[in-house]
Amino acid sequence: MSQKKVEIKNDQLLDARKAALHEQIHGKIRAHGKLWGMDVFSWANPSGDLVATTIESFPYPVIWIVNQDLLDWCSVNYPNICVNVKTIIAQDQKYEIYSKLDLIHVEKMIGAGSVENSLEIMKKFVRKGAIVLFTSTGVEWERSQKIFVDFLNLHQNK
């Protein structure tokens, strides 16, 4: 192989690796299809700005499973974020969550304490036509994402 072709191939591999690292760090929303009549999405390491504007654009009620830090950031920087959100489940809080959301009306705000508990709690709020958005952030984002995907694989009708 000529030196020029090798350099082009190396550049392509480097660009692909950079894109994969960017996606891993900043995340990309992923559609998972339907679960109990709800559209399901997950987003690992989302940008707060992007997740807020995405939630604001959803046309249906949202059940948001989220880490407290991302929730707090979004609620401060995008106070209208909860217009479409009907249920918030904070996967990393054990008690009912209030924090910076004291003045924002959401039907249900629950602290689950773990991803597993969040998914069990979500079952109680199934509503056909709703959207489930699972966001995973922080040092445990990979483990959280895997638990969520495993849950979907177990419960989705194939």
Residue pLDDT, tens place only, 95-134: 655 555 555 567 778 888 889 999 999 999 888 889 999 9
In sequence order, the 6+-apart residues with CB closer than 8 A to the CB of 101 are 71, 72, 75, 82, 88, 109
123 belongs to a structural domain: yes
Domain count of the fold of the chain: 1
In a domain, 4, yes or no: no
User: Could you tell me the residue range of the domain that residue 40 belongs to?
Assistant: 27-155
Q: How far apart are CA 64 and CA 61, in angstroms?
A: 10
- Each residue of 75-97: b (16+ CB within 10 Å) or e? beebeebbebbbbbbbbbbeeeb
Provide the pLDDT for residue 138. Answer: 85
CATH (domain of 122): 3.90.190.20
The rounded mean pLDDT for the chain is 82
Confidence of residue 23 (pLDDT cuts 50, 70, 90): low
The reported pLDDT for the residue numbered 72 is 83
For residue 17, being part of any structural domain is answered with no
Q: Could you report the per-residue pLDDT of 70-97, keeping only the tens digit for each?
A: 888 888 888 777 778 888 898 887 765 5
